[in-house]
Amino acid sequence: MTLMSVENVSFSYGAGRRVLEDITFDVPRGSNVGLVGESGSGKSTLLRLLLGLDTPRSGRILFDGQPLEAKSGRYMRSYRRRVQAVFQDPYSSLNPAHRILRIVTEPLRSLKVPGDHRAMAEEAMAAVGLPADSLGRFPDQFSGGQRQRIAIARAIVARPELVLADEAVSALDLSTRVRVVDLFRDISERMTMVFVSHDMGVVAALCDRIVVLDRGRIVEAGETARILADPQNAYTRSLLSSIPRMPEGA
């Protein structure tokens, strides 16, 4: 079953040149799809389209069989409940003036999710390996890796069907990154994920399918194991050669 389909999507900012050209791929329900490419390849732009923050110039995006109606407030309210995002910088993405409880339960309030929000926050914190008493503290009392766990707790608290992650481990130091990748792997067993990164090693460790973007075009896409074993494209090979050491389980 396909949860999201991107069909022949092209995009340009204003009257500028195309930054995405004829992008087509599927995100099967339950899968983890990695979008990988160097800086400027169009990954963040594609993610903005998937989040409904911009609309394709041509082509379309289907979510659960329906076209994504980025311009409809009503549609987007239900979409936000079903699709959540984790961004790169765990320092700027958490409001320093708010306690963790308020931060993690924010999607529940804005989406008007009924029920016991504190209990849901405690459950999300447990899922990311942080103690429930963290909910009474402020962001500056946590390390970068812990803050990213809090951002992940916020992304999963409303039980979305799809989590979109944009360079979600890139800002972390190596050992923290390995732990947060492990956490994503754990969580991704229970939901569908699209994981955007310039780091082929991270994507290979986390995703069962990879889409390789080069200057706004897909140059290669397929199952991770196949791409690692037999990359067809020179650009993919160069991304693979930049992995210092294959992560375990890749």
Ligand X SMILES: Nc1ncnc2c1ncn2[C@@H]1O[C@H](COP(=O)(O)OP(=O)(O)OP(=O)(O)O)[C@@H](O)[C@H]1O
Instruction: Provide the minimum distance between the beta carbon of 69 and ligand X in the complex, in angstroms, as a whole number.
Output: 22
Residue closer to ligand X by CB (options 125, 212) is 212
Residue closer to ligand X by CB (options 23, 100) is 23
Instruction: Provide the minimum distance between the beta carbon of 230 and ligand X in the complex, in angstroms, as a whole number.
Output: 25
Residue closer to ligand X by CB (options 13, 91) is 13
Residue closer to ligand X by CB (options 37, 201) is 37
Distance linking the first and last C-alpha atoms of the chain? 24
Instruction: Provide the minimum distance between the beta carbon of 29 and ligand X in the complex, in angstroms, as a whole number.
Output: 25
Instruction: Provide the minimum distance between the beta carbon of 237 and ligand X in the complex, in angstroms, as a whole number.
Output: 19
Which spans of this chain sit near ligand X (rule: CB under 6 A)?
13, 16, 19, 37, 39-45, 198
Residue closer to ligand X by CB (options 177, 198) is 198
Instruction: Provide the minimum distance between the beta carbon of 248 and ligand X in the complex, in angstroms, as a whole number.
Output: 26
